[in-house]
Structure formats: structure tokens, C-alpha cells
Structure 1
Amino acid sequence: MRYFSAVLLGCAVSVSALDALAQPRARIDVPVMVGGTGVLDGCASVGQIIGLDPRGDGFLSVRSGPGGKPYREIDRLYNGNQVFVCHDKGPWLAVVYGQSADGTCGVSTPWPVRQPYTGPCRSGWIHSRYVQIVAG
């Protein structure tokens, strides 16, 4: 009887877990879109991170969408880091950053079709207050 009760309890827990997985999740990630003109680079500007207080937290959060909460922090940038600025939404910038083999992350040439950036570099959203446009 104990075995049967344990199996029944295990099945109930499994069904409960499956119900939780089947419910729709709130989508909070907003992709960085690149291209769409066929004439301009995939990301039209280059920016540099500036103005972060080294005695404070000293970093700029890269977020999964244009805003603070509910978008999660996915990375951190520091003074002097460079980013490709692809588009904006209010004070938030959609950026591509990091290093690729060619140093451009693939966004320094025209992209005829507007599409989500998928690599080889990283992408996310940062606040424009700490970005100085240096090209584009």
C-alpha cells in the first residue's frame, strides 16, 4: 500500500509540474533588430560607454529588453567598451557588442532584410545616458 501511495503522489506531482510548463510564459526578451535598408550598415552607429562612476558600481547593465524591470540583466559593460547601436526605444539603445573574428560583429555592412541579431557577438539593451556616439 505504501508503494502505491508513493506512486500516486509522484504522478500527482508530475501532472502538477506539467500543468505549470503548459501555461504560457510572459515574454520579456525583446530582440535587437538589425538591417532593413539594404543601403545602410546593419547597425548605423558606434558608441562608447562613458560616465560610469568607478567608485560606484562601475558597470552598465545590459538588459534583455528596453527598460529596467521586468527585463533581466544579461551582461555588464564598462567605461571604454564600444558598442554598435542598432536602434532605440525611448532612452534605451539596442546594441551589439563584443569581439568577432573580423572585429565588426557582422553589422558593419548593409543588411537588406530587417531581422533579429543572432551573432556572432552579443546583443542587448542599454540606457543611452552612458553612451557617446563616436561614429555614424
Structure 2
Amino acid sequence: MTWRKPLVLAAALGLSIAAAHAQTASLDVPVQAGADGPELDACPRLAAVTGLDPKGDDFLSVRSGPGGRPYREVDRIHTGQRLSVCETRGPWLGVVYAAPEGQDCGVATPWPRRTAYAGPCRSGWVHRRYLTDLAG
């Protein structure tokens, strides 16, 4: 079953199955992770939020799908937030990120099949313009 590994991780971290699925269910286009190769992490790139205007809103919108409208904002993240990049659709990146920072999101190991990310961390879509690659 493709959902087993994220749910086992969520249970190990003391999260309920409902909580693990709640954030993914709120996405119009779930972020897909895994199966890019037997030796690659489920989300093979690490990036950080950069280039936000400190005199502007100073946040990056995380959206429910790869684009502006009609996809809605599901979260706001700030400069320095680290993200695991799982997929690319044009200028939009499907990402997984920890809140609080430092939480193990379970995407730093290979997954045998490509599947929708289901927690325990948050996921969504951001524009690549505001990310700088750190690794991968």
C-alpha cells in the first residue's frame, strides 16, 4: 500500500492518522514523493526560502496546487524556512516542510513507489523564484 510508510512514520511521532491526512486532503493537487530511483531520497532536493521583500509581506504563500489562481493559499512561510523539493511543474515546486523546523518528514530516504505525501509534515506548492537550492 502506497500510504503505509508515511502513516507508520506519523504514528511513530504520535500523530493520528486523521492528522497525517488532514493537510494533504486540503491540497487540490497533492505533492508526489518517491520512486525517482532506488538510491534517491523520496524528495531529493533541499532548498531554503530566500529573496522575499522584507518591506513587503515578507512571506511566501504555499498553495494548494501548482499555480496562482484558482489554487488557494494553504500556508505562509518565511525567509530561511527549509523545504524538501519533491516535484516540479513548470515554475512551481511541490514541497514538504517541517513545522516546527527540524521535525523528520520521512522524505530523506528512498520510497519504492511514487505516492502522494501524507504527513507528518506539511506540503504544498511554491514558486521557484523564492527558493535557493541547498543540496540535491
Interval containing the TM-score (normalised by the shorter chain)? 0.7 to 0.9
Separation (CA, whole Å) in 1 of partners of 2:88 and 2:76: 19
Unaligned runs of 5+ in 2: 1-26
Separation (CA, whole Å) in 1 of partners of 2:48 and 2:108: 16
Measured after TM superposition, the shift of residue 98 of structure 1 is 1.2
* 2:111 counterpart of 1:121: no
The answer to whether the Cα contact below 8 Å between 1:84 and 1:97 also exists between their aligned partners in 2 is: yes
Q: Structure 1 stretches (4+) deviating beyond 2 angstroms?
A: 99-104
- 1:49-72 superposed Cα distances (whole Å, 9 cap, x missing partner): 000011101000000000000000
* 2:98 counterpart of 1:94: no
Larger radius of gyration: 1
Identity %: 56
Could you state the TM-score of these two structures normalised by the residue count of structure 1?
0.76
Q: Give the root-mean-square deviation of aligned CA atoms.
A: 1.7
Q: Which residue number in structure 1 is paired with residue 135 of structure 2?
A: 135
Unaligned runs of 5+ in 1: 1-27
The answer to whether the Cα contact below 8 Å between 1:32 and 1:123 also exists between their aligned partners in 2 is: yes
Q: Structure 1 counterpart of 2:40, which letter?
A: L
Q: Which has the higher contact order (CA 8 A, sep 6+)?
A: 2
Aligned length: 109
Could you state the TM-score of these two structures normalised by the residue count of structure 2?
0.76
- 1:2-28 superposed Cα distances (whole Å, 9 cap, x missing partner): xxxxxxxxxxxxxxxxxxxxxxxxxx7
Separation (CA, whole Å) in 2 of partners of 1:61 and 1:101: 17
Q: Which residue number in structure 2 is paired with residue 22 of structure 1?
A: none
Separation (CA, whole Å) in 1 of partners of 2:130 and 2:101: 27
